[in-house]
Amino acid sequence: MSTDGPSSSGRSSRRRASDLVRSVAERARLGGARAVWVWRSSLQLRVVSSALAVGILTVAALGAYMSTTIRDGVFDQRLAEVDDESARSTAQAQSQFDAAPATSPDSVQTLLYDMLWVIQASGSGSRHVFLWSEDDQSGVIDVSTAPQYDDLVTEEMRERTVETADPDSAVNQVLQSVAIPLDPADPDSAVVPGVVVGTTVNVPVEGTFELYYLYSFEPEQETLDFMQRSLFSGAVVLVVLLGVIAWMVTRQAVDPVRRAARVAERLADGLLDERLTVRGHDEMATLARSFNEMAQSLQEQINRMEELSLLQRRFVSDVSHELRTPLTTVRMASEVLYASRDDFDPAAKRSAELMQTQLDRFEELLADLLEISRFDAGAAMLDAERRDLRDVVDRAVDNAQTLAASKGVWLAVDLGDEPASADIDPRRVERVVRNLLNNAIEHAEQGPVEVRVAAEPRSVAVVVRDYGVGMTVQQVDRVFDRFWRADPARARTTGGTGLGLAISLEDARLHGGWLDVWARPDQGSAFRLTLPRRAGIVLDGSPLELVPATADRRDDPHPPSGAIRMDASDPTSLPAMAPGQEES
């Protein structure tokens, strides 16, 4: 017979139990983490909880001290009363025993019964009396008003009582605390505190007898319980009031801060007309007035900066347009001189060639400035059509072949096997790829330049990788700045304007894409252009990796090392213009 069934069932049960324990532990952990987060994220909650914790500890300590003090005072006072009452009753009983005419055991027995009730009647009603012979061989019977409590008088107390008795001195008494059961017949009965007072008296004919008083402290215990309940109720009310007071006080202090935080968030979102409401003349009102003054000053400064920026953009645009007319005239004169350069002497011929080269560069700079001004003015338009990115990249590579050959750089192109069709503006995308290729060739140090194209259902991408001098992390952070270059002393042969990467970034943003860069010193650099296949697609990944698999990551501060993404969805990603600098 197979035994796999029960064993498998047991393992399954243990597995379910283990999964249940892990699930409960995970929920408890998440609940605790959420509680800690809520507590740390609310100043008012922290203040109220701290005040409640301090209040509870203080009230608990004060309540314990008061309860202990009251209990000890009630007990000591009642104990002194018991001691005095017992001493008086004992002295009265002894004087009556001394005056009694008893001469036989029978008369002594009658005397004991009579004296028992006399002693009982002379004290408080909450005590019992025991008259016991010291000698067990006595001819009289021990008497008591409550025989059911005889066991409360222990043998140790009887010995101490007999040893303490001194006929030649004042009455000596022994006191012992006991727990008196409310129902002596029930072992599990509730008990009340009490005390047994022991002493001795001389009985005619029979000699020394032990006299015990049993006092119940039940009324005092009830009083103490009532006082403790009252203290506890008062403590609860006090803690609740403390919490309410702390909540109200902190709310008065926190609410203005919350309002200021909300207004600050709106100001950060560009709502510069937001202001705090000023109420009263206290410190919070002073803070609100100061905050409003600061917001007003910021609004005025931002408005001035926006006006200045608008004037600067308009100035660049106007100057660029106005320069085209004299530049056309100079270009026509330069072409005439350049065409006749062979008839000039060597110095004039060289001047004509330099003028032609610099005019070409000047025209490129004007074109780039006009393009930048259109981007700044929000007038740039995307002329998108369905094109294969591989065709655009192939055309840009063909245009870069001449420069690569002059620099001794090998271009390795991998266009992939799958079509990379997307809704793109071919002119702008080709300009981006051409810019990336020219920069890679310029900095390749005669090493190879790799170009890869790939596609996935939502996006297409092209990566341009070189193995040249590379850049540091600090240089990578500024690579898209206008007119910035990694090494200002480095000679350039391509005559760049310093705006190529900034324009490329704007072109990528206009498509809703990404332009990423990775670089490390002496390992080269990699630029990745990622574009959505259709307008409206929000990119969440790229079909190509930016960081090369062979990159040395030991010096990288964080992965991906040295990489920076200029996201098209981030309008603040475009660096500000830095006049006088050139791009890398």
Q: Quick one: 453 exposed, middle or buried, by C-beta within 10 A (0-12, 13-18, 19+)?
A: buried
Tell me the pairing of strands 174-181 and 385-388.
Answer: unpaired
Where do the domains of the chain lie, and which CATH numbers do they carry? 101-219 (3.30.450), 275-380 (1.10.287.130), 383-567 (3.30.565.10)
Strand order in the sheet with 524-532: 411-414, 449-455, 459-466, 524-532, 514-520, 564-567
Helix, strand, coil percent content, the chain, rounded in steps of 5: 55, 15, 30
Are residues 480 and 489 in contact, defined by beta-carbon separation less than 8 angstroms?
no
CA 57 to CA 375: how far, in whole Å?
Answer: 66
| Spatial distance between the Cα atoms of 549 and 465, rounded to a whole number of angstroms | 12
Find, among 280, 266, 261, 124, the residue nearest to 197 by Cα. Answer: 124
Run of H or E including 421: strand 421-424
Q: Distance of alpha carbon 385 from its chain centroid, rounded?
A: 49
Structure confidence at residue 572 (pLDDT): 36
Report CA-CA distances (Å) from 395 to 330, 365, 371, 413, 558: 32, 23, 22, 12, 36
Q: What pLDDT was estimated at residue 461?
A: 92
- How far apart are the C-alpha atoms of 171 and 213, rounded to whole Å? 14
Helix (H, G, I), strand (E, B) or coil at 369: helix
Q: What is the pTM of this model?
A: 0.48
Interior angle at CA 424, CA 494 and CA 378, nearest 5: 80
Residue 118 corresponds to which amino acid? V
DSSP-assigned letters across all residues of 259-299: HHHHHHHHHHTT-TT--PPP-SSSHHHHHHHHHHHHHHHHH
Residues found in the chain: 584
Strand 421-424 relative to strand 191-203, pairing: unpaired
Look at residues 413, 577, 380 and name the one whose alpha carbon lies nearest to residue 497.
577
Tens digit of pLDDT at every position of the chain (584 positions) = 444 555 666 677 777 878 888 888 888 888 888 888 877 777 778 888 888 888 889 888 988 898 889 888 888 888 898 888 888 888 888 888 888 887 777 888 888 888 888 888 777 667 888 988 877 656 678 888 888 888 888 888 888 888 876 555 555 788 988 888 888 888 788 888 999 999 888 888 778 888 899 998 888 888 888 988 998 898 899 888 988 888 888 888 788 888 888 888 888 888 888 888 888 787 778 888 888 888 888 888 888 888 877 777 777 667 766 777 787 788 788 888 878 888 888 888 888 888 888 887 777 777 767 777 776 666 677 788 898 999 999 999 998 888 888 888 889 999 888 888 999 888 889 989 988 998 888 888 888 999 999 999 889 999 999 988 888 888 888 888 777 766 554 545 554 566 778 888 888 888 889 898 998 888 889 999 999 988 888 888 888 888 877 665 444 443 333 334 444 444 333 333 333 333 32
